[in-house]
């Protein structure tokens, strides 16, 4: 059960960043979903995974620093 909150943090970060970018550029998520190509969807998924990895690395680095 202790792993569940750890997995939700990166998703919240990603959601916040995407929402902020969309609002800044006047993009409505529902309209965007309809107009994306398969290649663009794939690229977005890869970017999200990369961001999750970066957040996980950041958390691990901070955890290691706190242990020392």
Residues 6+ apart with CB under 8 A from 52: 10, 11, 14
Pair 59, 6: CB distance under 8 Å = yes
Summarize pLDDT for 9-64 with one digit per residue, the tens: 667 877 888 888 888 988 887 887 788 889 988 998 898 888 888 888 888 888 88
CA dist 52 and 43 (Å) reads: 14
User: What's this model's pTM, rounded to 2 decimal places?
Assistant: 0.52
Give domain limits for the chain: 36-68
């Amino acid at each position: 059960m202790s792993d569940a909150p750890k997995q939700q943090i990166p998703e919240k970060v990603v959601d916040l960043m995407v929402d902020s970018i969309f609002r800044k550029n006047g993009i409505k998520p529902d309209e965007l979903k309809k107009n994306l190509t398969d290649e663009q969807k794939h690229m977005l998924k890869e970017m999200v995974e990369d961001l999750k990895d970066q957040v996980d690395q950041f958390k691990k680095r901070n955890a290691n620093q706190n242990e020392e």
